[in-house]
Amino acid sequence: MSSTIIFDLDGTISDPKDGIVRSINYALEAHGFDSRAEAELLTCIGPPLDASFRELLETADESLVNSLVKKYRERYADVGFSENYLYEGVFGSLRSLYDEHPLAVCTSKPAAFARKIIEMFDLDGFFEFIDGGDVGVSKVTQLSNLLSMERVGPGSVMVGDRMFDLKAAHENGLSSVGVLWGYGSFGELSAQKPDIMLDKPQDLFRVVELLD
């Protein structure tokens, strides 16, 4: 099985802030809660959505959490996915990498939403597949499943902007690349000891240094 460069989506390929923040507040308000300031919700970009709602409301009520997720996705499916911006330099870097190596996406958001975003930016031709998550499924499990199904090889690399991406890579024996243009701080990423840290999308060519 060939080595694959596996990309996170939110905060790595595109900036999803507006759609995520507005959709979270839509869900909160629909359930009678006050909306939250944008700055407070930036930590929700990256983790699984259900985990973010549990933390925001300090709740263990799974029925409430599932209802919030459902309401969030109602708005996100309609308009939230389109409130997304491609990071400058990503398209060119993906095009260069695609010429030589298999590329894929592994994101915590449902695959249907991820595909809509990837297609919106005309990036779908670059990726072998797009793997999406769901409530209760960690990125560790997602990568483990991809390896067990031999959709990616053991010499593959995970590229992401949050600790969840790097932790998932390490727990599955993969190399990791932390990117600093997304929503994870230098401290958060460096604590996970990535093999490489990148400052800008134009540096993504360095990922090939880690491929077996």
Active site members? 8
- Rounded Cα–Cα distance for residues 115 and 81 (Å): 10
Contact between 89 and 95 under an 8 Å Cβ cutoff? The reply is no
Three-state DSSP state, 175: strand
Query: Within 10 A of 71 (CB to CB), how many other CB atoms are there?
Result: 18
Q: What separation in angstroms does the CA of 140 have from each of 7, 98, 128, 170?
A: 14, 25, 20, 9
At 2, which amino acid appears?
Answer: S
Locate 30 and state its tokens.
């629909």
